[in-house]
Structure 1
Amino acid sequence: MIKPSILPAIRYHIFRQPLPYPLGLKLQEKVIDARLGRKEKGAGVTQDIVFLLEHTPTYTTGRRDNTPNPDQLHPEEKKVQNVGAGFYITKRGGQVTYHGPGQLVGYPILDLNVMELSTRRYVDKLQRLLAEYCTNDLNLPNISAPHPDGHVGVFSSPVEKVASIGIHLRHRITSHGFSINVTPEPIKWFDLVLACGLADVHAISINQLLQRTSLTTGISARQLTVEETARSLLKVFEKAYGREIVDLSHELPGGGNEEIEELRKLVEGVEVEADRLNKDSGGWAREPSMSVEQILR
């Protein structure tokens, strides 16, 4: 076994603007393809990395959500096809969820074999570190992970969900990951769908929970940004996995290597393409173009 403390540092990159969902998906696939190619050539340990970002408004569903007829629109897609968001069927676990500005998305691409982690332990660690961030760093009360009924995710009450987890494994390398609502901006989008298949649970954000807590304590609530949340979570992530986490752009003693240089080029290409796509499209919708009432008519 390679002890976590002597494994290479995990690299990370925080994207500077929201990514269209297909760009994030393609980035993960390219990174994993490259890692598997290196393993086929005899590389023992390849570079783990965590991508932290926001997406432009997007609904996704996972492999658990089996649509009876693949030639027909998913029932939830029918509801939201005219609200200003994309809809994508993915290979991750879980059911329908929303990604968009105001929500931090994390895509850890980790080799679970090298870390000697089972899939269950990996998901448990993700849940725990998100819950610990909410409880210990933000002093939010009544955080549970998983749900009292066993549903995966982080909940502030039996009917409120603040963070979701949905992963995919390919040859024991992880992709997809987690999302946590930071500002209230995603909530209107969540309200349009049956998120995660939980009819009695609705989405809530960190800032809403902080505001509610301030009413109880009388202490003025701090409102967080997505970038602040990303940087705070990296520290929790580092502690949870017992490994140093280093910005992809930083040089370590001894210089970089070919794999890290390739990762930098991939990330730079995605940043440029996201900038072009967002400019060409005129930006993204700040809120749904239809209300719940209009959709239900």
Structure 2
Amino acid sequence: MRVSQPLSLARTLPRRLLAPAGTPTGAACPGTSSKTVPQKPNPLPPVRYHIFRSPLPYPQGLELQHRVIEGRLQRRERGESSAQDVMFLLEHTPTYTTGRRDNSPNPDTLHPEEEKVQDVGAGFYITKRGGQVTYHGPGQIVGYPILDLTAMGTPTRCYVEYLQSLLREYAEDLGLEVVAPHEDGHVGVFRGRDEKLASIGIHLRHRITSHGFAMNVTPEPVPWFDLVTACGLADVRAVSISQLLERQGKTGPSVAECAAALVPRFASTFGREFVPLDAPAEGKTAGEIEAIRDIVADITAQAENAEKEAGGWPTRPRVKAQ
């Protein structure tokens, strides 16, 4: 099943435009994920975060981001305070997606990668994020930070580097030898040349980020990845944290443990406080926080209904691609 999403979340930035005006391509970004990103003089409000406990269908993940960003922009237009950044951490139900920079989709024919995964038990969505075909599903942590890069004083290219660095350092702290980016320049976190652990693909709308990253935690996503040429890298295969640690005789974290561990890394990287979405809210952003809570509650209910209607989600591909 292919669905082309009409949501106007953002325009995708070609790689050559990731550096801000006046910044030489390849120039070093200030700070790393082990050194707090330089801050503006006026401190920003804490980032609110929410960890979903059950997998979201991909359309609900898009709607979640769209409604939060749209509400924020509408408040701006009304002259109301709108400074509430938020981050969502979650798993998706089995889903293949491709981004706008993938020029192969044709409205009259199946995407070449979609032909490989007919009837395997996963949806296929053409989206507006950056990047090519990838997979999302249970066993993979997905992060959707919705951050105002202008307010943070962070160039887009540097934001991508910070995401990449904090994911790399999380893997390294687990005892894994990884590289980020790939030695050929591909964005993401890799184990050597031919195994990929994490992907990054972002959007911007009025300098507000959406989409973000995905990291394979358990082995569950790998058989789904094996059915496609993920990210257009024919010689690179997906791998999970658990599989890499198993080679060392160690046990890997759960997705929930990974999500909990990433929150303080984001706080350290961006030099900001991260507070649960359901924590008490006061001050200028209280109304906006309450509105985001209502959106999350609605999206959660939609996901629960979708799971009931589907009778659950497959844990492995139903058939092998021919």
TM-score by length of 2: 0.85
**8 Å Cα contact 1:187/1:203 also seen in 2:** yes
- Taking the TM superposition and a 5 Å limit, the aligned residue runs for 1:12-161 are 12-43=49-80, 45-67=82-104, 69-136=106-173, 138-141=174-177, 143-161=178-196
Q: Which runs of 5+ in 1 are unaligned?
A: 215-220
CA deviation string 1:31-61 (max 9, x = no partner): 1101111112234552100000000000000
CA distance in 2, matches of 1:195, 1:109: 25
Correspondence for 1:179 among 214, 218, 223: 214
CA distance in 1, matches of 2:204, 2:135: 21
**8 Å Cα contact 2:82/2:285 also seen in 1:** no
**8 Å Cα contact 1:5/1:243 also seen in 2:** no
Secondary structure of the residue aligned to 2:131 is coil
Shift of the 35–243 alpha-carbon distance from structure 1 to 2, 3 Å rule, reads: same
For 1:14, the aligned partner's letter is I
The more displaced of 269-278 and 195-204 is 269-278
What is residue 163 of structure 1 aligned with on the other side?
A: 198
CA distance in 2, matches of 1:158, 1:5: 42
CA deviation string 1:55-83 (max 9, x = no partner): 00000000111126322111001111210
Shift of the 4–174 alpha-carbon distance from structure 1 to 2, 3 Å rule, reads: farther
What is residue 218 of structure 1 aligned with on the other side?
A: none
For 1:228, the aligned partner's letter is E
**8 Å Cα contact 2:200/2:212 also seen in 1:** yes
For 1:200, the aligned partner's letter is D
CA distance in 2, matches of 1:130, 1:200: 22
CA distance in 1, matches of 2:39, 2:168: 27
Work out the percentage of aligned pairs sharing the same amino acid: 61
**8 Å Cα contact 2:167/2:189 also seen in 1:** yes
Higher helix share: 1
Q: Which runs of 5+ in 2 are unaligned?
A: 1-37
**8 Å Cα contact 1:4/1:242 also seen in 2:** no
What is residue 239 of structure 1 aligned with on the other side?
A: 268
The more displaced of 253-262 and 117-126 is 253-262
CA deviation string 1:269-289 (max 9, x = no partner): 111111111011100111001
CA distance in 1, matches of 2:295, 2:117: 32
CA distance in 1, matches of 2:121, 2:237: 21
CA distance in 2, matches of 1:114, 1:53: 25
Secondary structure of the residue aligned to 1:12 is strand
1:117 deviation in Å? Answer: 1.1
CA distance in 2, matches of 1:111, 1:104: 22
1:255 deviation in Å? Answer: 9.7
The more displaced of 193-202 and 40-49 is 40-49
**8 Å Cα contact 1:140/1:213 also seen in 2:** no
The more displaced of 183-192 and 127-136 is 127-136
The more displaced of 14-23 and 64-73 is 64-73
| Matching of residue 289 in structure 1 with residue 318 in structure 2 | yes
CA distance in 1, matches of 2:195, 2:117: 22
| Matching of residue 259 in structure 1 with residue 296 in structure 2 | no
CA distance in 1, matches of 2:259, 2:241: 13
Secondary structure of the residue aligned to 1:279 is helix
The more displaced of 251-260 and 125-134 is 251-260
The more displaced of 189-198 and 36-45 is 36-45
The two structures, once aligned, show a CA RMSD in angstroms of 1.7
CA distance in 2, matches of 1:4, 1:232: 28
| Matching of residue 223 in structure 1 with residue 259 in structure 2 | no
Secondary structure of the residue aligned to 1:213 is coil
1:235 deviation in Å? Answer: 1.1
Secondary structure of the residue aligned to 2:110 is coil
Number of equivalent positions: 285
**8 Å Cα contact 1:5/1:242 also seen in 2:** no
CA distance in 2, matches of 1:254, 1:35: 16
For 1:245, the aligned partner's letter is F
